[in-house]
Amino acid sequence: MKQSINEPARQIPVAGEYDVIVVGGGTGGVVAAIAAARKGMNTLIVEQFGFLGGSQTAALVTPLMSIAPGNTSSIGGINEEIRQRMLKANASAEQPGIADGWFDPEMLKYVLDDFCMEAGVKIRFHSFFSEAIVDEGRIKGIIVQSKSGRQALLAKQVIDASGDADVAVSAGVPYEAGRKVDGMNQAMSLRFNMGGIDFDKLCAYLDQTEPQMAPHQWPFVETAFTFDKEYPLSPLFRKALEDGKVTEEDVVYFQNFSLPGCPGMMSFNCPRITNRVKGYDVDDLSNAQILGRQKIRRVAAFCKNYIPGFENAYIALAAPMVGIRETRRIIGEYVFSAEDVLHGSRFEDAVARGNYPMDIHQPKKANVSVEFEEDFISKIEYYELPYRCMVPLKIDNLLVVGRCSSTTFEGQSAMRVQGIIRTMGEAAGYAAALAVKDNLTPRQVDGTLIRQQLRDNGVKI
């Protein structure tokens, strides 16, 4: 039987009042804050870590996947500004047709700091969102917990960029989580970096085993393995499994990428964690960190002992944040679905565009409600997401941006990539600023005006 205690009522000091508060300084949140501040808003980011970037920096998600029609380069706007500054800093590299840039997550922290300081964004690091302050259906601010204690922060508009809809759920917004058939969430990953890799030796091996893809060379070197396909590394994995050095669960999904600006280093999009994957449950998150590090140790040992070029490699960093693909999704004025992806839906109030496919990391694609079509891009060119996906039901003065915006389980698996999330963040920043300026709620903001503002800043929408 669970026990409970009564917390005594207390006065909570107001630590600040702002035009716009963004909860979460991650992929979409930091862009939302930059956009709002550039429109003259007194803007604050509340961030749990001591740096910006979210999954890009804390979870080491380093490839900026291409989402533009025809696999052309970036979709423009603030996303493109960030890309160009990372390229100028030699912390990113373009791979036309595949990605808008693989990047150094450490340098991205510095670049995002610069953007915020230039725009006049205020930042409260090491602060955890605790509770939404709601009055008669409107959010008035938030309560945060930090080393400075429990404090209130008031705002005319709030943007939930927490990734898990923490603010929206606290405010009473309806939401879903997982797929409809059984509530299962997508798999997590605890990514990590290895240094000390001999790329000359690694690339020579890959050229020999995969000559049709030669030459393999810096800065774009990638390896991968899954059990359902044959890869250059497949014989090495089979040998390691026979030797008992790894388990099938350790290497059910293996992928790594070189890091531009970081010679000798690769970032791993694994190991994958498929059980206990509720990213909004503290016990599941704790389990993922512990289990993930155990798997990392075995995967790194496999690399050192079996893959040419890794003989002197070492674990340089395990991500401080678990890579979470999907948790809560709000129910908003429009719910973006698999049908929108597959049919290439267009909207008058579109604020983001993409052609990234539905990418579901267990539960298996065979169990989703709409058949997965790998060739859909050639059929529809791209799909759009409407402004209304960020406008939650029931609560006013709140926008929700990122992977927790209003989508189905399948629809979310396509829109959760960085380029789309950054562009949605830019749209949310403009919408919050317009709502403050004209004394509107986000629900009253004309999404076509936000689309035009995006176009005015060079977004291809």
**CATH code, domain carrying 44:** 3.50.50.60
Do 203 and 169 share a structural domain? Answer: no
Tell me whether residue 7 is in a domain. Answer: no
- Are residue 169 and residue 23 in the same domain, yes or no? yes
User: Minimum mean pLDDT among 101-110, 208-217, 285-294: which range?
Assistant: 208-217
Can you give the pLDDT at residue 378? Answer: 56
Claim to verify: residue 193 and residue 238 sit in the same structural domain: yes
Among residues 324, 331, 41, the alpha carbon closest in space to that of 185 is found at: 324
Among residues 289, 318, 347, which one ends one of the domains? Answer: 318
For residues 224 and 229, give the distance between their C-alpha atoms in angstroms, rounded to a whole number: 10
Instruction: Calculate the CA 317 to chain-centre distance.
Output: 19
Q: Does residue 4 sit within a domain?
A: no
Exposed / middle / buried, residue 82 (Cβ in 10 Å: 0-12, 13-18, 19+): buried
User: How far is the C-alpha of 220 from the C-alpha of 259, rounded, in Å?
Assistant: 8
1 is a domain residue? no
* 3: in domain: no
Supply the range of the domain harboring residue 116. 14-181+327-456
Same domain (yes/no): 203, 309: yes
Burial 232-249 (b: 16+ CB within 10 A, else e): bbeebbeebbeeebbeee
Same domain, 226 and 354: no
CA distance 246 to 249: 8
DSSP letter assigned to residue 280:
T
* pLDDT reading at 432 higher than 80: yes
Question: Does some domain include residue 130?
Answer: yes
Which residues neighbour 183 within 8 Å (Cβ) at sequence distance 6 or greater?
A: 177
pTM exceeds 0.85: yes
Number of compact structural domains in the chain: 2
264, 286, 318: which is the final residue of a domain?
318
**Of 318, 343, 372, which marks where a domain is finished?**
318
Domain-embedded: residue 398: yes
| pLDDT per position as a tens digit, 154-180 | 999 999 999 999 999 999 999 999 998
Dihedrals φ, ψ of 346, to 5°? Answer: -120, 150
> Are 164 and 199 in the same domain?
no
The residue to which tokens 């009253």 are assigned = 444
pLDDT in tens, 365-420: 544 444 444 555 556 789 999 999 999 999 999 999 999 999 999 999 999 999 99
Q: Is residue 241 assigned to a domain?
A: yes
For the chain, what is the mean pLDDT?
A: 92
Domain presence at residue 36: yes
The band of 70, judged by pLDDT with boundaries at 50, 70 and 90, is low
